[in-house]
Structure 1
Amino acid sequence: MPDSQQHLYLVDGSAYIFRAYHRLPPLTNPEGTPVGAVYGYTTMLWKLADQLDQEDGPTHLAVILDKDSKSFRNDIYPEYKANRPEPPEDLRPQFPLIRDATRAFSLPCIEEQGLEADDLIATYAVEAAKQGWNVTIVSSDKDLMQLVGDTWGGTIDMLDTMKNVRLGPAEVEEKFGVPPEQVGDVLALMGDSVDNIPGIYGIGPKTASKLIVDHGSLEGALDAAPEMKKSKLKERLLEGRDMAELSRVLVELKKDCDLPQPLDEMKLDGIPPEPLAAFLEQHGFHSLRKRLETAPATQDDVAQAAEASEGDRQPLPELPPVDRSTYETVQDVQALEKWVARAHKARLVAFDTETSSLDAMRAELVGVSLATGPNEACYIPLAHGGSDMFDEKPPQVAFGDALALLKPLLEDDAVLKVAHNGKYDLNVLARHGTHVAPLDDTMVISFDLDAGRSSEGIGGGHGMDELAKRHFDHECIPYKQVCGTGKKAIPFGEVALDKATEYAAEDADITWRLHSVLKPRLSEEAGTRIYERVDRPLIPVVAAMEREGIKVDRARLADLSKSFAETVAGLEGEIFELAGEEFTVGSPKQLGDILFDKLGHKGGRKGKSGQYSTDQTVLERLSNDGAEIADKVLEWRQLTKLKSTYTDALQEAINPDTGRVHTSYSLAGAQTGRLSSTDPNLQNIPIRTAIGRQIRGAFVPEEGNVLLAADYSQIELRLAAHMADVGPLKEAFREGEDIHNRTAEEMFGDATRDNRAKAKTINFAILYGISRWGLAGRLKIEPDEAQALIDTYFARFPGIQRFIAHTLESVREQGYSETLFGRKTWFPRINAKNPNERAGSERAAVNAPIQGTSADIIKRAMVRMIPALRAEGLNDTRMLLQVHDELVFECPAAAAEAASEVIRRVMSGAAGPSVTLDVPLDIEVGTGPSWDDAH
């Protein structure tokens, strides 16, 4: 590079910090200070500085940071960035250390009160460009894309280091549909939920881009609105003009800030080793320290050299960017044989299935993808081509031949198979005679590591697309992009093979990458125990349960639907009579108007939409105040929901091939580790109501069999007694006493029917961290009286209060709660400034160890159950459902007694030998000709 051509790199330090934080496990330095983000930031900055010798490397470099969360934009619009969460607790102490890291590289670290990093970057970029310099902004922030181009003399581009992609004017225009200088206009129309920039409601990126292209500018689009044809878009432009103009001011980058440091002081003259060595030594980054001593370090060196120690653990592997052009379409037996051999040799293969449906029990297998490394992936089409028998089919391996080659690989004990939500794939392949094992599941691993966690700007779920974004900053191809949406949607089997290969092979590639990143964290973060002993062995067990399904009596469901419809119609008549007019009962707006405007009930509150709230809480309050119409509406809502959700939907859910209903269980749904059930959801059928029992009565066995229901009795109270070390409660459980009677005697002196009912409510409410107002509502008493009961409870059972206090203290310090088996649940909002958010996290944090331990125990019982039944020769006893603390089985009537003994033994001993409880686990077992009768 000629000496005369200066090249300034401006690093968006804030983006680096959050990327580093979410890519590395929680590390600590020798003093115990969190340094995971510091370590990641250091390696990323090192890699960038190492580009000095490259042709496009920098001659000058500075890191720009946000000084504070507030800027001059908050004076213009107080809600600016108002919805951004507070930084995680373990990241806050790392901010000053990251500044120290920057200075240890002898690099300028620039920040200014009242200004955002984007404004400083814009000012420096424009100033350097005016002097004829080239400028590279190291960031992927869309706001900064407004600067790209050569408007000010020198050239300004952007570098996204995560994707290793440079963005010039052409790339920006491809992204936004307009040149860089008009990006601000597009942003002003579409808004930005991350920064809480309002934009115009209902206008997305494509519409915003088209408006600017058609009218030349934001002002032109807004001015044209009055002359547009009547439409929603016209209304939105007219109504939202003020917000759009405000948003344009907010997205405009300030380019005339005072420069805190002259450009000349940003010159790079290599990295002086002394300050960097001292910094690395101070924080225990021993592997980086060795690299500094032995040779100039590159990022690949750094990633491979770290040694496991208290403050410098094995960093995550540095993976190449996803390159879909490397994926292979396997269309003949010889090519498939090569891939199978490659997978056998690798001893680890990621795989995924492509099918015709989300229902694993009805889906047709369309293709299989494999990956043996990053960008080493293929797609094997099995059933591609049009649905018509005369449609031309592309060349592909014959279905039977392909499965004959894949089956030995997928069943080979010496090859680890990796899938994401592998339970689905297990069920699809099992229907074709292939039983996959051994299996690692990246969705389950992610859940066991990060349940409850959330990332900056990214959801906290465990879907592949979310994890790809979170861990690799990679956007997976959306399904709708290859198959379309609505009436134009096509089945995956009709997708062209080049597009199908990109989509399917990417899934396997990302799964392989996720495994390489997440699996090492299990041992680093004490997640191995819960994954290997509880969740991983459960995957094939739950898959088998889903395949078993359960029989339902269609005729009985139809009769219930008819009965419910008649009752609903009668209720509507009563509601209309009480209202004095007919209206749509299911319309919250119409119901609100009736309740509060026409009938004059007190306490009506309107939300932002301008309509009254009529949710469950509001109706229950009105009911308590004597409003009969509220009672009727609550009953109407319950019946209509049960009819649509169960009695109608269950008839549709009957599989035509098996004649049974096959629910799907989520292994990463409930934050505490409980399984959740969908399609259909069998876990929300009311247990204690007559209507709920009628629905359960429609679940029946095959002829000659019975259903057997085994339920943990009061398991959460038993676990609370053990975990909180509450002597009186432990004694009561050991002696087989009625625990609610015992509580009533301890609190009130005797166990009258009324006192026992109160004690039962309090027992469960306390475990959920209920407030005085919450308890007052449940018991229909004054808040002061409720507080007195809470105080009495804690006085009689001080262990419970100590347990709650200790749990909250631990969660505030560590960020997570833990079950007796080591399952972590993260609570990032436990220290939130918003009292409602904080209180909600506190309630959940108190309950999570108890409910999570209960979930772990029943999972351990499920894993052991079938082998125990088989050992006793009970081969015809099948496990069908798991619902909260209950397991449902089907078995021959003659085997019911023997099966009950085995099931009771397995469930009561499921905690051991890992955990020894101070209280017995009591199991209630029942059998009968229906699920209801088995209770």
Structure 2
Amino acid sequence: MADKNHLYLVDGSAYIFRAYHRLPPLTDPEGTPVGAVYGYTTMLWKLADDLDAAEGPTHLAVILDKSGRSFRNDIYPEYKANRPPAPEDLVPQFPLIRDATRAFSLECIEEEGLEADDLIASYARKAAADGWDVTIVSSDKDLMQLVSEGDDSTGRIDMLDTMKNQRISIPEVEEKFGVGPELVGDVLALMGDTADNIPGIFGVGPKTATKLIQEHGNLTAALDSAPDMKKSKLKERLLEHRADAELSRVLVTLKEDCDLPVALEDFKLDGVPPEPLAAFLQKHGFTSLLRRLDAGSGSPERPTNLNPAKPVTAGVAGDEHGNRQDVPEMPAVDRSAYECVQDRAALDRWIEKCLAARIVAVDTETSGLDAMQAELVGISLATGPNEACYIPLAHHNEGGGGSDMFAEKPKQIDRDEALEALRAMLASDSVIKIGQNIKYDLNVLARYGVEVTPIDDTMIISFALDAGRGEAGIGGGHGMDELSVRHLGHTPLSFKEICGTGKKAIPFGEVALDRATEYAAEDADVTWRLHKHLKPRLAIEGGSKVYERVDRPLIPVVAQMERHGIKVDHAQLAKLSGDFATEIGKLETQIHQDAGEEFTIGSPKQLGTILFEKLGHKGGRKGKSGQYSTDQSVLEKLAGDGAEIATRVLEWRQLSKLKSTYTDALQAAINPETGRVHTSYSLVGAQTGRLSSTDPNLQNIPIRTEIGRQIREAFVAEPGNVLLAADYSQIELRLAAHMADVPSLKEAFKEGEDIHARTAKEMYGEVDRDTRAKAKTINFAILYGISRWGLAGRLGVEPDEAQEVIDTYFARFPGIQNYISETLMAVKERGYSETLFGRKTWFPRINSKNQAERQGSERAAINAPIQGTSADIIKRAMARMMPTLDDAGLGHVKMLLQVHDELVFELPEGDVEAASTVIEKVMAEAAEPAVKLSVPLGIDIGSGNSWGAAH
């Protein structure tokens, strides 16, 4: 699964006219012209095939022109005045082309008063600023102004010319215009554009325009140079038509700050249900495409899913689906069957129905995404297919779509009365409550004093079954809509369909009850259906052990941790932000002094030029774009060679990132009601089973640096309390010693030896600071399947010497080499790795013919059983922790955070000794009785007034 979002923006208007001129006139069964529609549909289909053969997008949208007029006509009425009207038989095809786009379940964006280019520019810049890579599917020269290489904090923007099957990056722009993308607009302003009726300067063509900009640096400088030129036609034209050139520069400038009508996240490619596409193709008589859809030809293996997915067999023995079971027969989703519960009698009837059913799907609708602050708007329940209801609790008015305080509110049960009526059923041990990411619902309802237990979670079940399968297009994510399309063949109503997008969006509490019922009850219905399909698969496919013993018990535990949150010292964070800003400023001054000039430190292009051309440092290497690499490894090597500027740039980058990501962001994340920061944990965020933290992410604070310690100092206990940190010591190395059965390592851990010193002695025959540091690097690197080249880079040696180190390591610890070989053999045969607790991680590309894909999967497969087992162990410890503390009379101890191999608690200072004994025992014995390890699990415990002081 790709780590980085990659947005594709399709210039749909260009596709339309290409399609129209490429095909002969065609009509559909109703006699409507559809030649351009057919051509557009086939071109979109081909785009999918081409992208899936290369690097598929994670997000995609088609951008169209709304009308022929834009704000540029207000500036210059003659803008595009020369363009003839659209052909008569093309006009009725425009709405059908929009229908075609939506039949593929793709976003189709257009806005009155804006051209497609402006929307593309705004979306591209916003996505790149958010760190996404962007590809604009177009050959439009105006859009070449947007091409950029990106840097450490921003994504790159390139173009794809599908006519020539050519990528357009900075070198291609420079080849076409003779200048970089930032000066393309200046060249266009001089040469003008007949098609768009942009005047430019009469008589100045592309070559002359390029030469002027190359010589003078920009348009203004070129125009300013005219008075000093020798007498010539060019001089006269520059002087006479200066105003035309300046107007043209305005006209060719793309508007990059448009209001975005649809959020970037809504462009996510989650799979395409075949029904809407089949219905569209059939309606317009596109029989050959319909046959292609039925046959599943040309289907992608990447997340575009613009065609039906073909079975992917790479790395899977026998059944290509890894013995996944068929979906049980159920009636089609019928939204008209859902009930809106508006009075107490109906609610009581549904409660009795839930008690009788024993299994009920539950979903909450709220006013926002933050479970710690959102208002509960309604609850939906489902007891079977199409047996679902919605209970509105806080809708604002009868008609929906407004918040007029004098408007009549719809009939609904008082929220407190409804929750009191539901309380017993939601807490009843005799009724299983199913949710999709039910942790969110637990937290919302807990704020209203309602407990929900026992629970099942379809998202977590899906993860236990199919983690990693998305890499080859057959697993995908674990969101409800994705699971519904994949397993049920049904596309649920989307939130934006109900509430709208952009400025026209309304809160869910203002949605009319009939539409709210369709949307909310469908969520519960689909969740019930998914549970009916997925839960039985656990036992059949071997997922019950990890789900029941590791994942399901953890859900309420993590929910409670999120509700507890952790206090942060706002004043200390503000001071740190100020200190960081001051230090960043000092570093910028020093870096500019080192460089002998001011430049944009965050620009890899400018930094590379300074380092390798102006200052002449060795080791510069250019990529395909012709730009020097200035990534961390390059800078670290320069710093190691004594280049102080590289050391300072590394410090500048770290401080800038920590300031924006933590000291600034944490202040904004403080909950005004609790005064604490409440992170959100995902149980499906990491393929190996590790928890991931978001909003804010608390898992990437540097561990062993002074700056990281300062940030941790801002995480504090309430007065009278302390924070206690309990950390597994070298757990992955301990697990490797057990799983690979390495006697010398197991002995070292049992004796409490320094494992890195033991490795240094085995490898080098002596232990000193240098050999121990090398041994530590080797211990961890080889467990991650590192190559000779990777290890060479980390140790600062030649690849041949690194290979000798690997060979020596395997000779000293043959069990490690056997473990790696056997693990890879098993994964290539079965398609998945497995932890000691039975957690499967799928690697669909483990047998790929693409070397990079195959080797990447191999490295991940080597480490997944170890890292996954480590994750399983700390999860088991978390699930057991609070009951054990409670039994010891320490139920008031709060577990607040889980960060990699560490747990953080808050408790009265007088309870530290007693709690430490319990916490250490629970963590040390977490694997048992399911797994008996041959090495002890070491736990380091510390406490203090802050998280930093606890280490």
Report if TM-score (shorter chain) is over 0.5.
yes
Query: In structure 1, the residue corresponding to 2:880 is in which secondary structure?
Result: helix
Query: In structure 1, the residue corresponding to 2:47 is in which secondary structure?
Result: coil
Structural mapping, 1:82-121, within 5 Å: none
1:660 maps onto 2:676 in alignment: yes
Shift of 1:676: 0.7
Distance (whole Å) between structure 2 residues aligned to residue 180 and residue 319 of structure 1: 39
Contact 1:458 1:466 in 2 (8 A): no
The match for 2:151 is none
Shift of 1:653: 1.1
The match for 1:797 is 813
Q: Which of residues 825, 828, 831 in structure 1 aligns to 2:844?
A: 828
Distance (whole Å) between structure 1 residues aligned to residue 85 and residue 341 of structure 2: 43
Distance (whole Å) between structure 2 residues aligned to residue 238 and residue 762 of structure 1: 51
Contact 1:188 1:245 in 2 (8 A): no
Amino acid aligned to 1:738:
D
Distance (whole Å) between structure 2 residues aligned to residue 608 and residue 555 of structure 1: 47
The match for 1:850 is 866
The match for 1:931 is 947
Contact 1:827 1:845 in 2 (8 A): yes
The match for 1:367 is 378
Q: Which of residues 765, 777, 797 in structure 2 aligns to 1:761?
A: 777
Amino acid aligned to 1:915:
V
Distance (whole Å) between structure 2 residues aligned to residue 664 and residue 229 of structure 1: 39
Amino acid aligned to 1:710:
A
Shift of 1:883: 0.7
The match for 2:743 is 727
Q: Residues 479 and 760 (structure 1 numbering): CA distance in 2 closer, same or farther, change over 3 Å?
A: same
Amino acid aligned to 2:718:
E
**After the TM superposition, which of the residue ranges 597-606 and 889-898 deviates more from structure 2?**
597-606
Shift of 1:684: 0.6
Shift of 1:197: 8.6
Distance (whole Å) between structure 1 residues aligned to residue 479 and residue 946 of structure 2: 36
Contact 2:457 2:552 in 1 (8 A): yes
1:318 maps onto 2:334 in alignment: no
The match for 1:207 is 64
Distance (whole Å) between structure 2 residues aligned to residue 456 and residue 918 of structure 1: 36
Q: Which of residues 867, 879, 889 in structure 1 aligns to 2:905?
A: 889
Shift of 1:331: 1.9
Q: Which of residues 369, 390, 400 in structure 2 aligns to 1:358?
A: 369
**After the TM superposition, which of the residue ranges 187-196 and 236-245 deviates more from structure 2?**
236-245
Query: In structure 1, the residue corresponding to 2:702 is in which secondary structure?
Result: coil
Contact 2:64 2:116 in 1 (8 A): no
Shift of 1:605: 5.6
Unaligned runs of 5+ in 2: 1-5, 7-24, 69-83, 95-113, 122-135, 144-158, 166-280, 290-317, 397-401
The match for 2:38 is 183
Structural mapping, 1:329-728, within 5 Å: 329-385=340-396, 386-387=402-403, 389-454=405-470, 457=473, 460-596=476-612, 598-601=614-617, 612-728=628-744
Distance (whole Å) between structure 2 residues aligned to residue 568 and residue 605 of structure 1: 27
Contact 2:36 2:90 in 1 (8 A): no
Q: Residues 662 and 774 (structure 1 numbering): CA distance in 2 closer, same or farther, change over 3 Å?
A: same
Q: TM-score, normalised by structure 2?
A: 0.69
Query: In structure 2, the residue corresponding to 1:193 is in which secondary structure?
Result: helix
% identity of equivalent residues? 66
Number of equivalences:
706
Distance (whole Å) between structure 2 residues aligned to residue 255 and residue 864 of structure 1: 59
Distance (whole Å) between structure 2 residues aligned to residue 611 and residue 406 of structure 1: 63
Contact 2:437 2:458 in 1 (8 A): yes
Q: Residues 661 and 513 (structure 1 numbering): CA distance in 2 closer, same or farther, change over 3 Å?
A: same
Amino acid aligned to 2:594:
L
Give runs of ≥4 in structure 1 deviating > 6 Å.
208-213, 251-256, 310-314
Shift of 1:217: 5.5
Distance (whole Å) between structure 1 residues aligned to residue 653 and residue 45 of structure 2: 37
Amino acid aligned to 1:780:
G
Q: Residues 470 and 198 (structure 1 numbering): CA distance in 2 closer, same or farther, change over 3 Å?
A: closer
**After the TM superposition, which of the residue ranges 468-477 and 805-814 deviates more from structure 2?**
468-477
Q: Residues 564 and 797 (structure 1 numbering): CA distance in 2 closer, same or farther, change over 3 Å?
A: same
Amino acid aligned to 1:196:
L
Amino acid aligned to 1:397:
I
Distance (whole Å) between structure 2 residues aligned to residue 311 and residue 554 of structure 1: 51
Structural mapping, 1:230-379, within 5 Å: 231=117, 236=138, 238-239=140-141, 243=161, 245=163, 315-379=326-390
Q: Residues 253 and 242 (structure 1 numbering): CA distance in 2 closer, same or farther, change over 3 Å?
A: farther
Distance (whole Å) between structure 2 residues aligned to residue 193 and residue 590 of structure 1: 36
Distance (whole Å) between structure 2 residues aligned to residue 230 and residue 409 of structure 1: 53
Q: Residues 339 and 613 (structure 1 numbering): CA distance in 2 closer, same or farther, change over 3 Å?
A: farther
Contact 1:545 1:880 in 2 (8 A): yes
The C-alpha deviation readout for 1:176-201, integer Å capped at 9, x for no partner, is xx8476232355379633443999x9
Distance (whole Å) between structure 2 residues aligned to residue 242 and residue 912 of structure 1: 55
Structural mapping, 1:736-815, within 5 Å: 736-815=752-831
Query: In structure 2, the residue corresponding to 1:335 is in which secondary structure?
Result: helix
Shift of 1:314: 6.5
Contact 1:707 1:930 in 2 (8 A): yes
Q: Residues 697 and 493 (structure 1 numbering): CA distance in 2 closer, same or farther, change over 3 Å?
A: same
Distance (whole Å) between structure 1 residues aligned to residue 29 and residue 812 of structure 2: 71
Shift of 1:623: 3.3
Amino acid aligned to 2:670:
I
Shift of 1:214: 5.0
Distance (whole Å) between structure 2 residues aligned to residue 732 and residue 600 of structure 1: 48
Q: Residues 497 and 590 (structure 1 numbering): CA distance in 2 closer, same or farther, change over 3 Å?
A: farther
Query: In structure 1, the residue corresponding to 2:51 is in which secondary structure?
Result: coil
Distance (whole Å) between structure 1 residues aligned to residue 322 and residue 823 of structure 2: 26
Query: In structure 2, the residue corresponding to 1:403 is in which secondary structure?
Result: helix
Shift of 1:618: 3.7
Query: In structure 1, the residue corresponding to 2:422 is in which secondary structure?
Result: helix
The match for 2:169 is none
Contact 1:668 1:675 in 2 (8 A): yes
Contact 2:434 2:458 in 1 (8 A): yes
Amino acid aligned to 1:343:
C
Contact 1:320 1:374 in 2 (8 A): yes
Contact 1:673 1:855 in 2 (8 A): yes
Amino acid aligned to 2:596:
G
Amino acid aligned to 1:319:
M
Distance (whole Å) between structure 2 residues aligned to residue 911 and residue 711 of structure 1: 15
Distance (whole Å) between structure 2 residues aligned to residue 312 and residue 686 of structure 1: 42
Distance (whole Å) between structure 2 residues aligned to residue 243 and residue 902 of structure 1: 64
Distance (whole Å) between structure 1 residues aligned to residue 871 and residue 288 of structure 2: 56
**After the TM superposition, which of the residue ranges 572-581 and 905-914 deviates more from structure 2?**
572-581
Distance (whole Å) between structure 2 residues aligned to residue 203 and residue 416 of structure 1: 39
The C-alpha deviation readout for 1:448-500, integer Å capped at 9, x for no partner, is 10111127656621111211121123222222222233333222212222222
Q: TM-score, normalised by structure 1?
A: 0.70
Distance (whole Å) between structure 2 residues aligned to residue 203 and residue 822 of structure 1: 36
The match for 1:87 is none
Amino acid aligned to 2:43:
A
Contact 2:327 2:487 in 1 (8 A): no
Q: Residues 863 and 180 (structure 1 numbering): CA distance in 2 closer, same or farther, change over 3 Å?
A: farther
Distance (whole Å) between structure 2 residues aligned to residue 230 and residue 470 of structure 1: 33
Query: In structure 2, the residue corresponding to 1:674 is in which secondary structure?
Result: coil
Distance (whole Å) between structure 2 residues aligned to residue 858 and residue 599 of structure 1: 50
Contact 2:896 2:904 in 1 (8 A): yes
